[in-house]
Structure 1
Amino acid sequence: MRTGPVVLLLFLLLAAGCSAAPAQSAPAVPVAATASVVPSGFNGTDVAWLQLVIPMEDKALRLLDLAAERGSEPAVRRLAGQVRDSHRAELLDLHRILDRTGLPATNVHEGHDMPGMVTTDRFTLISSTTGPRFDSHFLQALKAHLAQTAHISRGEAQSGANAGTKALARSIASARGTELGELDQLSP
């Protein structure tokens, strides 16, 4: 295996802040789960991006579903619904590409706390609030998620090898920019 894709994979995972325990000083990177098998037509960046974005989107969907129903402001509920719908469509595309790699849909980041990830603790905190406080917590979490997925998607678009994966990454990065602009209009 060439070292370039492995080094880039490590960089992406480290840039994403992937760590098994946030208190550790050095991130624990599950390299064996991604770098040992890179399917033909893909590189380590493609695989790492797919294996990171899919669980991030899955977890964000739970929060988006909740906010579409419980947001105190109609504009918050509307934005949550729109973002949720686009995330669901993107998630289908992400899974289709992952299926083409032949790699399992295993979440190699299970239990990791990464920037932009809607963790169980954060979801619990947000779901326990109501009214404007709910909206505020939701918008903060959504902003972190959108910014991080835009960041790592730009990295995939620049350094990935698979044309379809890079095109989806560009599309997601662009969508996140639009969604962040809409979110900024709602944030105090």
Structure 2
Amino acid sequence: MRAYDKNPARGLVAAVAAGLLLAACGSGAGSGSGHPGGADHEASAPASPSGTPGRAHATGPFNDADVTFAQGMIPHHQQALDMARLADGRAEDADVRRLVAAIKQAQDPEIRTMRTWLTGWGRPESAGHAGHGMAGMMSEQDMKDLAAVRGRAFDRRFAELMIAHHDGAVQMARTEQREGRDEAALKLAGDVVRTQSAEISELRRILERL
């Protein structure tokens, strides 16, 4: 009878001990997770009005190469738009004017998209370089010289400068393709390589006949 009385107590003590052990294990289950070296990060896309992530938003894992790509490509695209706006009232060639329209149509939305990514990643839009020293960027004097010419002279100078500018963007996009991780950023990099490489070829053909 005495042994029967002690068994419930021992069972209760064992149950409590097991519960404490499980709780201790559970509290450390998430330790050690994450990406080595802090190079990769997780991002959640901001919700669209319907409550689902927008397609333009960067989602999932991203890394420092993705951030560098967006921070660099924004001022790079912005300068291409500045060059394209100079064509208004200055460009004469129909193919140049058509390319100018294509540049405006593609690059302005891409700037807005990359700004959305950086906001979602919690990163600043500018890395502090404001585009200085990046491949293909025009100098202030280049922009002044372009603004000072009209007609065929403008068309030729625009084509020459935009070839160099596009080539710089393609270099940046290929770096993103090699080193980036975010799916949306990698897709945009692929679009830049494809479309701007095609425009470089067309600009070279324009130069040959001007």
**Structures share a fold, TM > 0.5?**
yes
Determine the structure 2 residue equivalent to 1:2: 37
Determine the structure 2 residue equivalent to 1:184: 204
CA distance in 1, matches of 2:147, 2:127: 24
Q: TM-score, normalised by structure 1?
A: 0.74
1:83 aligns with 2:98: no
* CA deviation after TM superposition for structure 1 residue 138, in Å: 0.8
Query: Deviation per CA, 1:133-175, whole angstroms, max 9, x where unpaired?
Result: 2111111111011111112101101210111111111111111
Query: Deviation per CA, 1:64-98, whole angstroms, max 9, x where unpaired?
Result: 11124421212211211112211112222222222
Q: Give the one of 78, 91, 101 matched to 1:58.
A: 78
* CA deviation after TM superposition for structure 1 residue 52, in Å: 0.8
**3-state SS of the aligned residue for 1:78?**
helix
- The question of whether the paired residues in 1 share the 8 Å contact of 2:177 and 2:186 is answered with yes
Q: Number of residues paired by the alignment?
A: 155
Moved more, 60-69 or 144-153: 60-69
1:61 to 1:117, Cα distance in 2 relative to 1, 3 A: same
After superposition, where does 1:63-74 map in structure 2 within 5 Å?
63-74=83-94
1:128 aligns with 2:148: yes
1:77 to 1:68, Cα distance in 2 relative to 1, 3 A: farther
Query: Deviation per CA, 1:34-73, whole angstroms, max 9, x where unpaired?
Result: xxxx753221211111111111111110111112442121
CA distance in 1, matches of 2:78, 2:41: 24
- The question of whether the paired residues in 1 share the 8 Å contact of 2:136 and 2:165 is answered with yes
- The question of whether the paired residues in 2 share the 8 Å contact of 1:54 and 1:91 is answered with yes
* CA deviation after TM superposition for structure 1 residue 106, in Å: 2.7
> Which structure carries more relative contact order (alpha carbon 8 Å, separation 6+)?
1
Determine the structure 1 residue equivalent to 2:139: 119
**3-state SS of the aligned residue for 2:87?**
helix
Please, what is the CA RMSD of the aligned residues? 2.0
**3-state SS of the aligned residue for 1:187?**
helix
CA distance in 2, matches of 1:102, 1:154: 24
Query: What letter corresponds to residue 206 of structure 2 in structure 1?
Result: L
1:42 aligns with 2:62: yes
Gap runs ≥5 in structure 2: 1-35, 43-60
**3-state SS of the aligned residue for 1:115?**
coil
Query: What letter corresponds to residue 77 of structure 2 in structure 1?
Result: E
CA distance in 2, matches of 1:172, 1:114: 16
Query: Deviation per CA, 1:87-146, whole angstroms, max 9, x where unpaired?
Result: 112222222222221112235222723321133221111101122221111111110111
What percent of counterpart residues are identical? 26
Q: TM-score, normalised by structure 2?
A: 0.67
Gap runs ≥5 in structure 1: 6-37
- The question of whether the paired residues in 2 share the 8 Å contact of 1:153 and 1:169 is answered with yes
